[in-house]
Amino acid sequence: MAGVTPNEGEDFALEKIYETENVVLGLFTNTSGLSETSVWANITQPTAAGGYAEKTLTPADWTVASQNASTAAQDFVATGAAFSAAIYGYYIRTTDVTPRILHFEVNASAPITVADGDTYRVNLSNTLD
């Protein structure tokens, strides 16, 4: 018989991940290949063109309830130029010397080109079930 993690255990796990230390949000340009076995080295970010930079999220930014960790929408705005490549999705990683991927999401539709002045919005929600 497989073990079961009850809802309060899932909430506890999310609280330990998101409400105890800073995490980093970023965008990736990988065209394929990300899976449950992916590691940080598998992530390809846009270059700094257009002002792209990762965002640090603090524990105070997160709300955990009903097996879901969420935070306010996060905007990445291209300024002065387009981002260097089309965006295929976003990731959340640790701040460790060797970062670890905590979560990633691939765009539901096609990759998105972020032209100068455009905004790429990430609506963060990580649910355990």
Give 56-77 pLDDT, tens digit per residue: 999 999 999 898 899 999 999 9
- The C-alpha atoms of residue 89 and residue 19 are separated, in whole angstroms, by 23
Alpha carbon of residue 90 to chain centroid: 4
Helices (H), the chain: 7-18
Q: What percent of the chain has pLDDT over 90?
A: 61
Give 15-27 pLDDT, tens digit per residue: 888 889 999 999 9
Q: What is the pLDDT of residue 1?
A: 65
Nearest to 79 by CA among 121, 116, 111, 54: 116
- The C-alpha atoms of residue 87 and residue 92 are separated, in whole angstroms, by 15
